[in-house]
Amino acid sequence: MSGESGSINQMRAVTISREYGSGGGEIAKRLAERLGWHLVDHEVVVQVARELGVSEEEAAARDEHVESLLSRILTSMQGIAPAVYPAIYDESTPVALFTNPEEYREAVNRVIKGAFAVGHVVIVGRGAQVVLGDRRDVLHVRIVASLERRIPYVMRREGLDEHAARSRIQSKDHDRERYLQTEYRRHPADAHLYDLVVNTDVLDLDSAVDLILLALERKARRLNVPERELGPGAGLAPYSGRPGDLRPPYYERASDKV
């Protein structure tokens, strides 16, 4: 196990994308606790991105790990774009930087990259799977579940009736889909954005965490593998013969008989 932990420590981050009510936020929290990594939830990212003049105490109220992490992220962000944050440590002066969507997106990207630079973070939402998509030392995960399973989850967690829970799920899913499409021209359901997609219809949340940890460890093992040796064909011998094609049966349409 110690060897596995050592390889996992070479990874810098896990991004968690999730359908609302699939348990993705809770999975991210449990994963961060199991790893001993910092949890960077979307509320924190948004808050820091909007106004870097927020006090560390206010940010810490949203996440118990943020107080120490926030200053480290801000330090990393100075290295990425130092001229953009002139009053970064002056808590008495709000930093009103985000006057248009492009500035806002760039600020969120800087926060995500700052968290990545700190390392050993679990980042929830905010397009991190796209921003860090080219990094081999990041594991990208999406958590999904059927609407029928998500409605009871939201009813239980938020104290809503069935109709309100359904409406909230649909609204949140729409907002997240629109955000990723508008800001990054990608769809959150695109499986190619992720190393692992976990369906929590049947799997319990701790089992989902187990799967993510396994995938994290296995991806860590591949960090030093040359690009040419990656992919599903790596190490496989050619087929012994030409593979056959299984074609679906052809059904004549009524119009074809006319």
Q: Encode pLDDT of 193-203 as tens digits.
A: 999 999 999 99
Mean pLDDT of 242-251: 72
Instruction: Please say if the pLDDT value at position 59 is more than 80.
Output: no
Residue 250 belongs to some domain of the structure? no
Give the DSSP H or E segment for 57.
helix 56-60
Residue 29 belongs to some domain of the structure? yes
Q: What CATH code is carried by the domain that includes residue 8?
A: 3.40.50.300
Residue 237 belongs to some domain of the structure? no
Q: Encode pLDDT of 178-187 as tens digits.
A: 888 888 899 9
Maximum distance among all Cα pairs of the chain, rounded to whole angstroms: 80
Mean pLDDT of 37-66: 55
- Residue 76 structure tokens: 């990393």
β-bridge pairing 121-124 and 138-144: unpaired
Residue ranges making up the domain that contains 106? 3-85+93-222
CB neighbours of residue 233 within 10 Å:
9
The burial of 24, by beta-carbon neighbours within 10 Å (0-12 exposed, 13-18 middle, 19 or more buried), is given as: buried
Q: Encode pLDDT of 89-100 as tens digits.
A: 333 333 344 445
DSSP string, 100-117: SHHHHHHHHHHHHHHHHH
Q: In whole angstroms, give the CA distance from residue 94 to residue 54.
A: 7
Confidence (pLDDT) at 132: 94
Q: Encode pLDDT of 99-154 as tens digits.
A: 456 766 777 788 888 888 888 999 998 889 999 999 999 999 999 999 999 999 99
Mean pLDDT of 222-240: 84
Q: In whole angstroms, give the CA distance from residue 34 to residue 195.
A: 20
Give the confidence band of 49 by pLDDT, cuts at 50, 70, 90.
Answer: low
Residue 34 belongs to some domain of the structure? yes
Question: Into how many domains does the chain fold?
Answer: 1
Residue 55 belongs to some domain of the structure? yes
Q: Looking at the chain, how many residues does it have?
A: 258
Residue 67 belongs to some domain of the structure? yes
Residue 127 belongs to some domain of the structure? yes
DSSP string, 171-232: HHHHHHHHHHHHHHS--TT-GGG-SEEEETTTS-HHHHHHHHHHHHHHHHHTTTS-GGG-ST
Give the confidence band of 86 by pLDDT, cuts at 50, 70, 90.
Answer: very low
Residue 62 belongs to some domain of the structure? yes
